[in-house]
Amino acid sequence: MLNRGRNIEKGRVITRRMFILAAAKILLFAGISSRLYNLQISDREKYEILSDKNRIREWKTPPQRGVIVDNFNKVLASNDRVFQLHLILDEINDFDVTMFKIKNLIGLDQFQIKKLYKKKERLKPWDTLVVSDNLTWEQFSKINLYLHELEGAKPVLSTSRFYPYANDLVHIVGYVGDASPKDLQKPEIKENFVPGLKVGKYGIENSLEKILIGNYGIKRYEVNASGKRISQIDYIKERQGNKVNLTIDIEIQKYAQELLKGRAGSICAMDIYTGEVVAMASSPTYDPNKFTHGINEKDWQEIRNNPLKPLINKSIAGLYSPGSTFKPLVALAALEYGILDPNKTIRCKGHKHPYELYGVKYHCWKKEGHGYMKLRNAIKQSCDIYFYEMARLLGVDKLSIIAKRYGLGTNVLGDLYNDEKNGLVPNTKWKRRALEQSWYLGETVINGIGQGYIQTTPLQLCLMTAQIANGGYKIKPHIIKDDTINYKDVINKIKLDQSNFPLHERNYLDDINVEYYQRMYHKKSNINFVLDAMFGSTNEQYGTSYRSRYDDPKYQFAGKTGTSQVRRITDLDRELDLDTDQIEYKKRDHALYVAFAPYKDPRYALSVIIEHGGSGSKAAAPLASKLIKRIIDRHKLREQINNGNTSLA
Amino acid sequence: MLRERIQASNYSFLDKLKSIDYLLILLIIAIGSISVFAIYSTEGGKFSFYTKNHIIRLSIFFSLFLLLSFVRVSTWYKNAYLFYIIGLVLLITVLFFGISASGATRWINLYFLNLQPSELMKIAVIICFARYYHRIQSSDIQSYKFLIQPIILLIIPCYLVIQQPDLGTSILIAGSGIAIIWLAGLNIKYFVYSGLLLLVSLPFAISILKPYQKSRILTFFNPDRDPLGAGYQIIQSKIAIGSGGFFGKGYLKGTQSYLEFLPEKHTDFIFTLFSEEFGFLGSIILLFLYILLIYRIINVGLVSRSFFAKLYCFGFATAIFLYVFVNIAMVLGMLPIVGAPLPIMSYGGSSLLSIMLGLSIVMSCKIYNQEQISVY
């Protein structure tokens, strides 16, 4: 019985203990359930995001750059097909072996190999290493031939920037290259950057990056734990950058570059009504295509060390004394202010009896002297003595008002080019502020012939000429097609206005701000006088550019030569009176020429500068003459395009 | 006593069939089927090696389970110590002739199956302890003389398993043994004291752990310590389960598993895969199936007359609970990662064999539930 009672007791203990355990089990299972609830219901979103992060990986695809076209829709900067070699890193077992094979196939040197190894270190294991972004066809076909032996190698057909007119446009269009850390700080690049994307380095490529760069695409892949792509989930297509339409006529630009070949200098041409820059050549030049895939050291040194400075866009960043090309404007200023009667006669007596002011002698360029001169003749034959006297009477401050109004001393194209120079139109205020000296009358005298402190860019001279040639109206120079300008309206407005009567609501002789397409002159007759004198300078005997004239009224043009000294002319030089060829290059004068054409119904203005070219009439005017013919021949075509007839393109 | 024996032997076959716990069989079939689907999913929906093997093993071991269910419970009782000795011998064999995988020596190559004796030891300890406490008078249970024996019996296999090394299985073996000691009625104070002692000695215990075991425990407390190394499994497992949501990602659509982010997905992390594809709902249902299974086993114990059967059933139920709890808590990041398969669900022959063996003893307890077993 005792045994039995004990047994019953034992059974009870076991059952009781079991229930205690069961209760514990229920508690623990409840714990598991609540944990499941936490993970799967409360925190579901968090883990869903983590799961997607695990399985979805994005690859950005580079956008194509917007194309740049000229006025006639000819492509100036395109996206050309290039052959590239990519290495998919996660498909490679032995990187060294693969590199060795590739090195032998396409002939990489030790330096390039080192660079690739460095590049690889910065990449993630599933990234793509671009071994070469520009293979030749031979290299590319060799790679394809041995592809089965190259693990992870991927021959890729891609696009890269190509400039079909290479040297002819580099100063305008610029070039692209790999983004530097500084480039990556620009918001438009930062937002759209994809590794390997080329960005604008110079010129329009650089300043219009926002328009040209486009938007990258995104390819979303599902990947497994080792990073291998399983399937493509999503592809947001990249958007090509927008087109940029220039006002340049590539035919004229090409011709201008050709004319400048072998010399240092610039040619600018502009529509005198619309302000469209038709050509803006700078010489010497270089090939922008060399920069796209990184320029090699030898080419770079060649460009950098060229004494003629190809890297400088001389049209907007070259500063020159305007020399005699400034004279029409000096004459205009004197007439506008009523300083002198154009019939006033001054005698130029040659080097033996120079102009004298407070004991300082000022010589005319012509050794024998011009004799008795009236204003028209003084412009036509470019007599310095007449202008010394006129400038003295006018004063530098009045002259500077007119010079600035007609486009000198400020940059022409706004902030399109960050290397564009302002130039300098001096006045007494400027000198006091900048040099802390007072103005000397002698400085006014030489300022009258475009020497001294005055500094202009070729494009400014072109603009000055254009704004005189269009009858004295302010225009808006531009190089990017501006859809907001209705060219027909602008031309009609200026052509119909040309008022002879002074407008009394504003005093044109004050330093006023003139709106675009508004008159800048005081008296119409003064403008006409200057234009007529410029006609004489080119088309009449004894005119300085008489030899470059056209008799055909279709091409007939008017202009003004200029020869700007790069150093002071000493008495010794005058005695020697050497020919240009006999002088050391660096010491030769700059040759300048400004002109507008056709004379009867002017439409284009241009400026030519040949650095150290000698005299304007010999070195610069003949080039202008040739270019003018070309521009006028193409005028009809241009007119049709600008009036909306795009079928010609 | 003799009468009872005759009575037991007089069970007709029909009686035996009648007293089978069909719900228990249904539960085993249900969990077994789920496991086939889950393993099929780990192979990305291809009927291939693992799925095939799992189905073959399931059917063989299930048949074995049915067959062994008809073995008399007294036969199990008589051979209880023998099982323990066989288990021990196998464990020692592993020590000398075992085959290794990923740094651990746990298996014996039987050509048709790589047997993992530690898995069998889980059952052997339960059956051995059930027999041991069956015969001990309740008055003797508290005495040191009778306490020291089971402790030695427990320490030997645990030590051998730790040497393999396999901390998880060792803990589970110890857990099942301790559960039976608890059921037998050992005074609570022993459990309290030894619990305290364990807590105090924990720092020393950790210091003698293998470096990988240490790192597992450290990563348990902070999985982000080494997200690509030791913490990887638990982070990925939590992501998989959490991203499953309420309804799951759908069968065969668990991205974490088919994109191979999930490690050990057909063994220890099978629950993670299931939970990712079937969500909270599926997980709770699976959990419920396990609760039912445990309940049915306990129920067999309750209707059994002999202490042996009671102790065994309650012990085995607790063991099943421990396996399920440790495995799920582990994949949920509630416990450190120790190798512990989910019963029936996980791919693995030995684990499946031992569970089926254990269940057949439960079933035999059910069929012969009126059988009295003499103490001697």
Residues of chain B in contact with residue A46, where contact means CB-CB under 8 angstroms, are 242
Contact at CB, A32 and B328, closer than 8 angstroms: yes
Give me the sign of the Cα torsion angle B206, B208, B212, B213. negative
Q: Which residue of B has its CA nearest to A16?
A: B183
Q: Is 80 exceeded by the pLDDT of residue B132?
A: yes
Share of chain A above pLDDT 90, in %: 55
Interacting residues of A418 by C-beta distance below 8 A, sequence separation 6+? A206, A207
CA atoms within 13 A on the CB side of B341: 20
Q: Hey, what are B94's tokens?
A: 């592993």
% helix / strand / coil in chain B, to the nearest 5? 70, 5, 25
Range(s) of chain A covered by CATH 3.90.1310.10:
58-245
Of A9, A40, A224, the CB nearest to B241: A40
Q: Is 60 exceeded by the pLDDT of residue A648?
A: no
Of A6, A28, A41, the CB nearest to B280: A41
pLDDT value of position B375: 60
Range(s) of chain A covered by CATH 3.40.710.10:
316-648
Q: Which CATH number fits domain A58-245: 3.90.1310.10, 3.40.140.10, 3.40.190.10, 3.40.50.10680?
A: 3.90.1310.10
Integer Cα distance of B339 and B359 in angstroms: 22
Average pLDDT of A343-360? 89
**Biggest alpha carbon–alpha carbon distance for chain A:** 161
| Least Cα separation, residue A118 to chain B (angstroms) | 25
Contact at CB, A230 and B245, closer than 8 angstroms: no
Q: Is 50 exceeded by the pLDDT of residue A564?
A: yes
A367 three-state secondary structure: coil
Enumerate the β-bridge partners of residue A281. A267
pLDDT value of position B6: 44
Contact at CB, A35 and B183, closer than 8 angstroms: no
Mean of pLDDT over chain B: 88
Assess A37–B contact: CB distance below 8 Å, yes or no. yes
Assess B354–A contact: CB distance below 8 Å, yes or no. no
Q: Hey, what are B330's tokens?
A: 């582990």
Average pLDDT of B277-303? 95
Name residues 282-311 of chain A within 8 A of B (Cβ): none
Q: Hey, what are A388's tokens?
A: 């010394």
Q: Is 70 exceeded by the pLDDT of residue B308?
A: yes
The H-or-E segment that residue A223 falls in is strand A217-223
Q: Hey, what are B70's tokens?
A: 């008809």
pLDDT bin (cut points 50, 70, 90) of residue B300 is: very high
Q: What are the tens digits of pLDDT across the range A424-436? A: 999 999 999 999 9
Contact at CB, B255 and A225, closer than 8 angstroms: no
Contact at CB, A39 and B241, closer than 8 angstroms: yes
Average pLDDT of A558-576? 84
| Residue in the block written with tokens 């400039």 | A163
Of B139, B259, B314, the CB nearest to A225: B259
Alpha helices (H) along B185-231: 188-207, 211-221
Assess A645–B contact: CB distance below 8 Å, yes or no. no
Q: Which residue of B has its CA nearest to A51?
A: B239
Residues of chain A in contact with residue B261, where contact means CB-CB under 8 angstroms, are 54-55, 224-225
Q: What are the tens digits of pLDDT across the range B201-220? A: 888 877 777 777 777 777 77
Contact at CB, A47 and B182, closer than 8 angstroms: no
Contact at CB, A36 and B240, closer than 8 angstroms: no
Which of A213, A223, A54, A83 is CA-nearest to residue A156? A83
> Can you give the residue range of the structural domain that contains B312?
80-343
Residues of chain B in contact with residue A39, where contact means CB-CB under 8 angstroms, are 238, 241-242, 332
Contact at CB, A224 and B307, closer than 8 angstroms: no
Cβ contact A453:A423 at 8 Å: no
Q: Which residue of A has its CA nearest to B247?
A: A40
Contact at CB, A29 and B325, closer than 8 angstroms: yes
**Biggest alpha carbon–alpha carbon distance for chain B:** 67
* Residue pairs between chains A and B whose CB atoms are closer than 8 Å: 130
Domain assignment of residue B47, yes or no: no
Q: Hey, what are B350's tokens?
A: 């030995």
Average pLDDT of A565-576? 79
Which of B163, B177, B56 is CA-nearest to residue B100? B163
Number of domains chain B contains: 1
pLDDT bin (cut points 50, 70, 90) of residue A62 is: confident
Domain assignment of residue B202, yes or no: yes
Share of chain A above pLDDT 70, in %: 98
pLDDT value of position B28: 96
Interacting residues of B168 by C-beta distance below 8 A, sequence separation 6+? B326, B338, B339, B340
Cβ contact A270:A466 at 8 Å: yes
Give the residue, B269 or A483, on which the prediction is more confident: B269
Are β-strands A355-357 and A360-362 bridged in parallel, bridged antiparallel, or unpaired? Answer: antiparallel
Give the residue, A237 or B10, on which the prediction is more confident: A237
pLDDT value of position A1: 47
pLDDT bin (cut points 50, 70, 90) of residue A645 is: low
Name residues 113-152 of chain B within 8 A of A (Cβ): 137-139
Interface test with B, best of A8, A16, A17 (most B CBs within 10 A): A17
Nearest 5 degrees, angle CA A82-CA A85-CA A91?
Answer: 150
pLDDT value of position A647: 47
Average pLDDT of A269-277? 94
Domain assignment of residue B355, yes or no: no
Domain assignment of residue B360, yes or no: no
Of B242, B310, B318, the CB nearest to A44: B242
Which of A564, A546, A536, A525 is CA-nearest to residue A379? A536
Residues of chain A in contact with residue B244, where contact means CB-CB under 8 angstroms, are 40
Domain assignment of residue B27, yes or no: no
Assess B260–A contact: CB distance below 8 Å, yes or no. yes
Judge if ipTM > 0.90.
yes
Residues of chain B in contact with residue A10, where contact means CB-CB under 8 angstroms, are 137-138, 185, 307
pLDDT value of position B318: 95
| Least Cα separation, residue A234 to chain B (angstroms) | 17
Contact at CB, A14 and B182, closer than 8 angstroms: no
Q: Which residue of A has its CA nearest to B261?
A: A225
Residues of chain A in contact with residue B334, where contact means CB-CB under 8 angstroms, are 31-32, 35
pLDDT value of position B1: 44
Assess A51–B contact: CB distance below 8 Å, yes or no. yes
pLDDT value of position A501: 77
Domain assignment of residue B2, yes or no: no
CATH classification of A316-648 is 3.40.710.10, yes or no?
yes
Mean of pLDDT over chain A: 89
Instruction: Kindly report which listed range (A28-42, A252-266, B273-287, B326-340) carries the lowest average pLDDT score.
Output: B326-340
Q: What are the tens digits of pLDDT across the range A117-167? A: 888 888 777 777 888 878 888 888 888 888 888 888 888 777 889 999 988
| Least Cα separation, residue B327 to chain A (angstroms) | 11
| Residue A360 DSSP one-character state | E
Contact at CB, A25 and B261, closer than 8 angstroms: no
Average pLDDT of A535-549? 91
Which of A549, A531, A532 is CA-nearest to residue A626? A549
Domain assignment of residue B218, yes or no: yes
| Residue A51 DSSP one-character state | H
Assess B318–A contact: CB distance below 8 Å, yes or no. yes
Q: HEC profile for A161-174?
A: EECCCHHHCHHHHC
Domain assignment of residue B73, yes or no: no
Contact at CB, A47 and B259, closer than 8 angstroms: no
| Least Cα separation, residue B226 to chain A (angstroms) | 17
Average pLDDT of A347-351? 89
Which of A504-518, B4-18, B184-198, B361-375 tops mean pLDDT? B184-198
Average pLDDT of A526-548? 92
Contact at CB, A25 and B284, closer than 8 angstroms: no
